[in-house]
Amino acid sequence: AQLALEKDYETHRDYETRYRVIMEAARDALVLVDVASGRIVDLNSSAAQILGAEADTLTGSAFTQEFEGRRRGEFIEGLVLAAGDEASGPVLVKTRRGKLDVTLHPIVFRAAGDKSLLCRIESTKSAETVAAELS
């Protein structure tokens, strides 16, 4: 059993590395939020840039506080509901630090028993929006 566990351990170390490489390689702004506490578990540098602070400062802080006029309970709950409902579309918010209009595209998943949210943050005036408007 010890050996099997060690082999698994190797494999999972591998996933940690892959996870970190992909977080930074993706051009999407990605934030991971723990649903129970509402705190930011991890985020990539694109997301930190949009939120207007260093990733180190943001990790562990309340996700809700990064947006204007939102209350924690209903905000996080709203994201969980939006994630489960294809028809609801993205959630529109304004960042607190930079006053940027952005959309949040949430996905809910479970890891190690805890409910987590992965939010893709999209600046509403991205190159893609511009291209879509022009097409």
User: 39: helix, coil or strand?
Assistant: strand
CB 59 within 8 A of CB 43: yes
What CA–CA distance (Å, rounded) separates 105 from 119? 5
Q: Hey, which residues between 26 and 45 contact a second copy (CB under 8 A)? A: 26-28, 30, 32
Contact flags string 99-128 toward a second copy, x per CB under 8 A: --------x-xxxx---x-x-x------xx
Q: Compute the least distance from the CB of residue 17 to a second copy, in Å.
A: 4
Query: Comparing C-alpha atoms, which of 43, 58, 14 is closest to residue 116?
Result: 43
User: Residues in the site for a second copy, rule: CB under 8 A?
Assistant: 2, 5-6, 8-19, 21-23, 25-28, 30, 32, 107, 109-112, 116, 118, 120, 127-128, 130-132, 134-135
